[in-house]
Amino acid sequence: MIMPNTFVENKSRWLEIANNDFDYSILFIKCFLPFNAWYCNNYPQHNNIDSKIIYALKSEDNIFKTRIISLLEGNNSESKLFRDHIVSLNELLEHIRVPTNTNRISFSDINFRENPEKSKTRNFNKNTYKAEYLTPSPPHNYRIKLTILKTVGHSSVFSYQHNKYDKEHLKLDNDFKNLTLKMQEVILNLFEDVDPKKRESLIQNSKKNSFSKFQNIYFINDSDLIAQSLIEIIYRLRCILFHGEITPTKDNLSIYESAYYILKSIIKTLH
């Protein structure tokens, strides 16, 4: 089924911009094209499926991610300028909020990897609550398993299994609805803890144990995760631009100045 383009109202604005000087969005596109050609050529097993290639770039060792990490950790002027552009991009994304306020791109609220938390347990009020995100296996191919057991004796209080992560499906389950509100709250919290697309923040509230190379912003002290999130953000900025999802105002498109310089610095070493 062909999905309708819900951003068609942006068409006239894009046509107007094509004749004006929103240079950095155009430069970003020009910079992304050789990157796109490089990753399609280097990941032929993914048949030019961008999302699969981007996942591989984030999760595997490769020269693109290695280049980002070296710039994040470096002490030379190029590395400092690279980090300054990331700080600027973060400030713009927090202030401007694209593509929308409710579905924004942000270092502080982003899903950029599969949640490493596959199982979570909590003891509360003489019961043991457990949520698991499973590797599916035949015949049922369950993805989610939720249980409440008596802590003493381990008799079952509640059991739920489903073949996909679906909060609304859980809430409609009759056994779930028969739990007390507090029991529902506990199991829902655990359920959210194992969400495979759980959103994370790369920004801390304090300087303590933060990534020391940045000034005036407290990124988590993990250059690999910062690199993964940056790859995701660059890709998402590409998508909302290519698909016309971003409302093309001058303020909105200003984010592409920092994004352009960031991407330009990374792709210099691709060959």
User: Residue 14: pLDDT above 60?
Assistant: no
Angle (nearest 5°) at CA 97 between 266 and 108: 65
The pLDDT-based confidence of 262 (bands split at 50, 70, 90) is very high
pLDDT band at 122 (very low <50, low <70, confident <90, very high): very high
Higher pLDDT among residues 176 and 13, named by residue: 176
Average pLDDT, integer, range 102-114: 96
User: If you ran DSSP here, which 8-state letter would residue 207 be given?
Assistant: S
DSSP string, 21-52: T-HHHHHHHHHHHHHHHHHHHH-GGGTT-HHH
User: Where residue 8 falls among pLDDT bands split at 50, 70, 90?
Assistant: low
* Whether residue 173 has pLDDT greater than 60: yes
Asked if 176 contacts 170 with a C-beta cutoff of 8 angstroms, the reply is yes
Band of pLDDT at residue 37, cut at 50, 70 and 90 = very high
* pLDDT (0 to 100) of residue 215: 85
- Let me know if 218 is exposed, middle or buried by CB neighbors in 10 A (0-12, 13-18, 19+): middle
Can you tell me the mean pLDDT for 13-38?
80
Q: Which two tokens stand for residue 180?
A: 């007390």
Taking residues 62-69, report their average pLDDT: 97
Q: Residue range 56-79: average pLDDT?
A: 97
Give dist(CA 265, CA 64) in Å, integer.
11
Predicted pLDDT at 269: 87
Local structure of 102: helix, strand or coil:
coil
| Cross-strand bridge partners of residue 149 | 128, 156
State yes or no: pLDDT of 30 exceeds 80.
yes
> Among residues of the chain, what percentage have pLDDT more than 70?
92
Average predicted confidence (pLDDT) for the chain: 93
Q: For residue 256, which of 78, 140, 96, 56 has the smallest C-alpha distance? A: 96
**Which tokens sit at 151?**
């802590």
Which is higher by pLDDT, 16 or 135?
Answer: 135
